[in-house]
């Protein structure tokens, strides 16, 4: 078990490793009551080591040590020291072979780190520090080795034995056992090691690379999932082609494997040549998964594949550099998704996640820079800041350099650092060297936490035809960081004339206008930009396409927002204007029972609903009201119940006023004959289901008929679950329970669909109160050992069902605290992730914050708290 007083690890204390491991030879003997791991390491002193370290230090966690041999001689007690989390071997030679035998118990591993069992199969998760749960090893990413792995297991139960690289040998053994040996020619850090053993079916395909090499593609799943691999395979091939076309990156091994496992702490893992996926992030069929799942799968398959270059070939020197691979790879997968679908919609989705969740993280007690300076438990730093803000930082470099120089920079980065473990600074330097641009100030994006706030003022000088914008930036204090320096911010904008056309933009002193969208570069605390030749007061369209992860304050009037909604040439800002208008209207209603909904919002929505010439994908997004989570994020001393009711009133007012338009919209969006995940079809299903949901929300009888009909006749899960969700959130109690039962009867054998069934209920503002959620925990399909089930019930309740989670008696908070305490021993990573909703207690009005604080305190009191939960709870409660 882990210690109780976790220590803080600092970037400033980084030292190169004292010893390197050139080669790792592993032999796994897999049994039902445990596994024996024989590891042979070729170790040598690191010529670059700074101190004359005498002793070899290897990390370990939950291991039973059976023996240690050095150059063939068994070490006796006294010749090494087993400190549990550390194995010390004093006075070793400059180069030697170390053999270590450990015994582990995968069948009892509920943490899902290291080697564990999931639905009868053995699998691994080694990032970030799971390899040390398999054997003693210098478990840090700057130790890169070549691996040879032999797996031995019972042949009948585990016919498939997989590891990284190529299979070089296989054969039968006594007692019905067999073995396969794998060799990975590419040196890699231990976190990329993987092993799978199970009774799996293999789905095969092939891909010919740009240089004509033939690659074997294989997806391994349990037999019952054999029909759900097609979409992932297609996505993989698209991702491979895209990385060749856009980055010039070709796959390097002869075989690429994906395995689906049901019990997984995160989404997926990019192990070299053997990606392991959470089933819910790879398996799909139209009947059983939604459009959202299809899109998520395409993005995650691509993400893990892209890591082969951005992460594996070039990896991280230490875990402070995590965003080197994650930020860059999210940027890459997000561009890929944009190219495969609608770029504007993808941008809206990325910005929504960032503004709702990453901005919240950046303003809370766990705020940290994209390159953190310290951590206690690295698993806690797989955050929205590292991933999403990290991706935005790379995107800003792309914006500043332009596509061609960015490509030159990425080419230089891959060429210069192939086979190395490097830092975010190395990445930025490659971009600088290839482009000739100075990114010195830009580096602050990696070092300073907190979301920059831009305050924009303008004035128009009619006589001089000059429009002046004054932009001020400030960056809020975050834990341990005050008095921040101004950052280098690409600020894209346009100006609309009275007819809604973009004005050509010329800054004072320029001879000719430089286009109608300009990317201004903010570097100082205050900038004044003067646009000349402007013959009437324009409406500014600011931060076009969300050119930087910042907040923008500008006092647009509602009429100006309406104007931008219908005229802005920037799709993202058309959407954003609509969001701002809706936020403004909801806020006006908050706590004012007699205020009514501004008819301008109703008109704007009516126009959108009936505008069949507009991009329907964008229309579908524009008709979604800002979420409660976003509204909370925008307020101080947030009162959840008031926000919830204000938003509800707006929704009901819109649904009532637009009833006929919604029905017409519903009828217009006829289901496509063949299910396809094109932006058009996704938009059509999204509009149809939105219309249904709004109408059922106000208890419309006709919509009720339509929903029941849709539920029973749907041929795809988007429509079936759309109807189910609408009924669950309707006042029709009988239909609600009957449809839920029918759905469960139909799908109870498919765990992924059961997850949806759970989350629709746990997230329901109508029926998902705490008592209902507790009943779900007692349901036969619920499983405390399965992270997906926990996320779908507890996570959905605390993260999406805000009105019930934030009951003012604090019952929701105490429930979450009890759940965290319960999970802390069995799966600390999942327990720590569940803390997130409580960490922002200071954001809320007193009636809420007190209860949230008490809940955190009750978690803090638990004996033997894991390092994961300890770090979050203590940082959240610190003054």
- Residues with catalytic roles: 304
The single-letter DSSP state of residue 537 is: P
Decide if residue 639 touches ligand TRP (CB under 6 A): no
**Window contacting ligand TRP (CB under 6 A); options: 194-202, 264-272, 701-709, 820-828:** 264-272
* Alpha-helical segments (H) within 611-658: 616-622, 628-633, 640-657
268 binds ligand TRP (CB under 6 A): yes
Tokens of 373: 């300076």
x/- track of binding to ligand TRP for residues 287-306 (CB under 6 A):
----------------xx--
Q: Which does 728 bind (CB under 5 to 8 A by kind): ligand TRP, Zn ion, none?
A: none
Q: Smallest gap, in angstroms, from Cβ of residue 247 to ligand TRP?
A: 18
Q: Is the distance from CB of 476 to CB of 450 less than 8 angstroms?
A: yes
Quick note: the x/- pattern for ligand TRP over 308-337, rule CB under 6 A, is ------------------x-----------
Residues in 666-705 at the binding interface with ligand TRP, rule: CB under 6 A: none
Pick out residues in 379-398 that bind ligand TRP (CB under 6 A). 379, 382
The reply to whether 123 sits near ligand TRP by the rule CB under 6 A is no
Give the closest residue to 128 by CA, choosing from 314, 449, 383, 381: 381
417 binds, among ligand TRP, Zn ion, none (CB under 5 to 8 A by kind): none
Q: Which two tokens stand for residue 188?
A: 């890699």
What does the radius of gyration of the chain's CA atoms come to, in whole angstroms?
A: 28
Closer of 316 and 631 to ligand TRP (Cβ):
316
- Asked if 647 and 586 count as a contact pair (C-beta separation under 8 A), the reply is yes
Closest-CA residue to 320 (of 369, 249, 389)? 369
SS3 557: coil
Q: Which is nearer to ligand TRP, 302 or 856 (CB)?
A: 302
The label of the residue with tokens 């009943």 reads: 775
Residue 265 in contact with ligand TRP, rule: CB under 6 A:
yes
Shortest CB 270 distance to ligand TRP, Å: 5
Confirm or reject binding of residue 589 to ligand TRP (CB under 6 A): no
Which of Zn ion, ligand TRP, none has residue 379 at its interface (CB below 5 to 8 Å by kind)? Answer: ligand TRP
Q: Which is nearer to ligand TRP, 111 or 228 (CB)?
A: 111
Which of ligand TRP, Zn ion, none is residue 269 near (CB under 5 to 8 Å by kind)?
ligand TRP
Cβ at position 312, least distance to Zn ion in Å: 11
- Grouping H, G, I as helix, E, B as strand and the rest as coil, residue 14 is coil
866 binds ligand TRP (CB under 6 A): no
Q: Between 391 and 597, name the residue whose CB sits nearer to ligand TRP.
A: 391
Q: Give me the residue label for tokens 């609600």.
A: 736
Q: How far is the CB of 326 from Zn ion (least distance, A)?
A: 5
Task: Look up residue 701 and give its two tokens.
Answer: 């009888």
The only residue of 109, 125, 145, 310 in contact with ligand TRP, by rule CB under 6 A: 125
382: partner contacted, choices Zn ion, ligand TRP, none (Cβ within 5-8 A by kind): ligand TRP
- The count of chain residues that interact with Zn ion, using the rule CB under 5 A, is 2
Binding mask 287-326 for Zn ion (x = CB under 5 A): ---------------------------------------x
Q: DSSP readout, 182-194?
A: EEEEEEEEGGG--
Neighbours of 42 (CB within 10 A): 16
Options 133, 269, 469, 564; binder of ligand TRP; rule CB under 6 A: 269
Contacts 24+ apart (CB under 8 A), 706-711: 706/666, 707/735, 708/735, 708/739, 711/739, 711/742, 711/743
Q: Could you tell me which residues are beta bridge partners of residue 522?
A: 489
By C-beta, is 326 or 568 nearer to ligand TRP? Answer: 326
Nearest to 326 by CA among 378, 258, 374, 391: 391
In the chain, helix, strand, coil percent, each to 5? 45, 20, 35
Peptide bond into 128 cis (omega under 30): yes
Q: Which is nearer to Zn ion, 109 or 329 (CB)?
A: 329
**Partner in contact with 756, chosen from Zn ion, ligand TRP, none, beta carbon below 5 to 8 Å by kind:** none
Hey, CA dihedral for 691, 694, 696, 698, is it positive or negative?
Answer: negative
One residue of 266, 492, 503, 618 binding ligand TRP per CB under 6 A: 266
Which span (125-133, 174-182, 617-625, 675-683) binds ligand TRP, by CB under 6 A? 125-133
Q: Which residues, 6+ apart, have CB-to-CB distance to 404 below 8 Å?
A: none
- Min dist CB 309 to Zn ion, Å, is 12
84-to-58, 89, 91, 129 alpha-carbon distances in Å: 10, 13, 20, 15
Q: Which does 359 bind (CB under 5 to 8 A by kind): ligand TRP, Zn ion, none?
A: none
CA 167/CA 257 separation, integer angstroms: 12
- Interacting residues of 207 by C-beta distance below 8 A, sequence separation 6+: 214, 215, 217, 236, 237, 240, 251, 256
User: Which 8-state DSSP code applies to residue 315?
Assistant: E
- The residue range among 96-104, 124-132, 607-615, 696-704 that interacts with ligand TRP, by the rule CB under 6 A, is 124-132
Residues 538, 469 contacting (CB under 8 angstroms): no
Subset of 328-387 contacting Zn ion (CB under 5 A): 329
Which residue among 29, 61, 270, 377 contacts ligand TRP (CB under 6 A)?
Answer: 270
Residue 261 site contact among ligand TRP, Zn ion, none (CB < 5 to 8 Å, cut-off depends on kind): none
Footprint of Zn ion (CB under 5 A): 326, 329
Footprint of ligand TRP (CB under 6 A): 125, 127-128, 265-266, 268-270, 303-304, 326, 379, 382
């Amino acid at each position: 078990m882990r210690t109780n007083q976790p220590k803080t690890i600092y970037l400033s204390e980084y030292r190169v490793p004292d010893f390197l491991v050139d080669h790792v030879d592993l032999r796994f003997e897999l049994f039902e009551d445990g596994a024996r791991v024989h590891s042979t390491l070729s170790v040598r002193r690191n010529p670059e080591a700074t101190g004359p370290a005498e002793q070899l230090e290897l990390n370990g966690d939950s291991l039973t040590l059976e023996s240690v041999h050095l150059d063939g001689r068994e070490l006796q007690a006294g010749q090494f020291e087993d400190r549990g989390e550390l194995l010390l071997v004093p006075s070793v030679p400059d180069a030697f072979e170390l053999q270590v035998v450990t015994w582990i118990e995968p069948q009892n591993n509920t943490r899902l780190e290291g080697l564990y069992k999931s639905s009868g199969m053995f699998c691994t998760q080694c990032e970030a520090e799971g390899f040390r749960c398999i054997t003693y090893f210098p478990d840090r990413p700057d130790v890169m080795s070549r691996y040879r792995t032999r797996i031995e297991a019972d042949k009948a139960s585990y016919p498939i034995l997989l590891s990284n690289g190529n299979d070089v040998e296989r054969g039968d053994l006594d007692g019905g056992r067999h073995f396969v040996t794998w060799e990975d020619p590419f040196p890699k850090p231990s976190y990329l090691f993987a092993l799978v053993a199970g009774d799996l079916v293999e789905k095969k395909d092939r891909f010919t690379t740009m240089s004509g090499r033939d690659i074997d593609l294989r997806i391994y799943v349990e037999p019952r999932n054999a029909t759900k691999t097609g979409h992932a395979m297609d996505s993989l091939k698209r991702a491979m082609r895209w990385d060749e076309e856009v980055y010039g990156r070709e796959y390097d091994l002869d075989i690429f494997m994906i395995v689906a496992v049901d019990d997984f702490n995160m989404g997926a893992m990019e192990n070299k040549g053997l990606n392991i996926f959470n089933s819910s992030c790879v398996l799909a069929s139209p009947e059983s998964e939604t459009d959202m799942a299809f899109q998520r799968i395409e993005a995650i398959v691509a993400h893990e594949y892209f890591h082969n270059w951005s992460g594996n070939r070039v990896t991280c020197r230490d875990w402070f550099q995590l965003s080197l691979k994650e930020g860059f790879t999210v940027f890459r997968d997000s561009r890929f998704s944009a190219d495969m679908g609608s770029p504007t919609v993808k941008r809206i989705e990325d910005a929504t996640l960032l503004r709702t969740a990453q901005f919240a993280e950046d303003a809370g007690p766990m705020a940290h820079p994209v390159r953190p300076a310290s951590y206690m438990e690295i698993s806690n730093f797989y955050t929205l800041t590292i991933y999403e803000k990290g991706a935005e930082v790379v995107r800003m470099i792309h914006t500043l350099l332009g596509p061609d120089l960015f490509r030159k920079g990425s080419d230089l980065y891959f060429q210069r650092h192939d086979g190395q473990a490097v830092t975010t600074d190395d990445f930025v330097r490659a971009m600088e060297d290839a482009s000739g641009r100075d990114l010195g100030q830009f580096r602050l994006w990696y070092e300073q936490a907190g979301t920059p706030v831009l305050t924009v003022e303008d004035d128009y000088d009619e006589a001089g035809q000059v429009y002046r914008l004054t932009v001020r930036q400030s960056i809020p204090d975050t834990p341990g960081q005050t008095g921040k320096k101004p950052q280098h911010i690409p600020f894209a904008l346009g100006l609309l004339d009275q007819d809604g056309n973009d004005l050509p933009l010329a800054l004072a002193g320029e001879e000719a206008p430089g286009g109608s969208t300009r990317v201004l570069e903010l570097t100082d605390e205050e900038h004044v930009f003067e646009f000349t030749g402007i013959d009437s007061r324009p409406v500014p369209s600011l931060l076009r396409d969300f050119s930087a992860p910042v907040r923008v304050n500008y006092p647009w009037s509602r009429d100006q927002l309406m104007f931008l909604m219908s005229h802005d040439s920037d799709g993202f800002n058309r959407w954003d204007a609509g969001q701002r208008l809706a936020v403004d209207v909801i806020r006006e209603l908050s706590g004012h029972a007699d205020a009514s909904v501004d008819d301008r919002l109703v008109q704007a929505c009516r126009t959108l609903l009936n505008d069949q010439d507009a991009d329907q994908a964008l229309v579908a997004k524009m008709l979604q009201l800002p979420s409660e989570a976003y509204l909370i994020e925008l307020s101080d001393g947030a009162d959840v119940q008031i926000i919830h009711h204000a938003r509800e009133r707006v929704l009901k007012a819109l649904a009532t006023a637009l009833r006929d338009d919604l029905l017409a919209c519903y009828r217009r969006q006829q289901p496509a004959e063949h299910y396809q995940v094109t932006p058009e079809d996704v938009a059509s299903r999204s509009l149809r289901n939105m219309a249904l949901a709004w109408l059922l929300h106000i208890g419309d009888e006709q919509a009720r008929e339509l929903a029941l009909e849709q539920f029973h006749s749907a041929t795809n899960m988007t429509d079936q679950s759309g109807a189910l969700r609408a009924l669950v959130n309707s006042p029709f109690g009988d239909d609600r329970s009957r449809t839920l039962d029918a759905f469960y009867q139909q799908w109870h054998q498919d765990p992924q669909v059961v997850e949806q069934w759970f989350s629709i209920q746990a997230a329901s503002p109508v029926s998902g109160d705490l008592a209902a959620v507790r009943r779900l925990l007692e349901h036969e399909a619920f499983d405390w050992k399965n992270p997906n089930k926990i996320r779908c019930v507890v996570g959905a309740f605390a993260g999406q069902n805000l009105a019930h989670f934030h009951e003012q008696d604090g019952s929701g908070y105490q429930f979450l605290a009890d759940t965290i305490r319960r999970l802390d021993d069995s799966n600390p990573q999942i327990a720590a992730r569940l803390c997130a909703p409580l960490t922002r207690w200071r954001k809320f009005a007193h009636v809420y914050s007190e209860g949230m604080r008490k809940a955190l305190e009750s978690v803090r009191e638990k004996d033997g708290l894991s390092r994961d939960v300890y770090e979050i709870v203590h940082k959240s409660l610190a003054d």
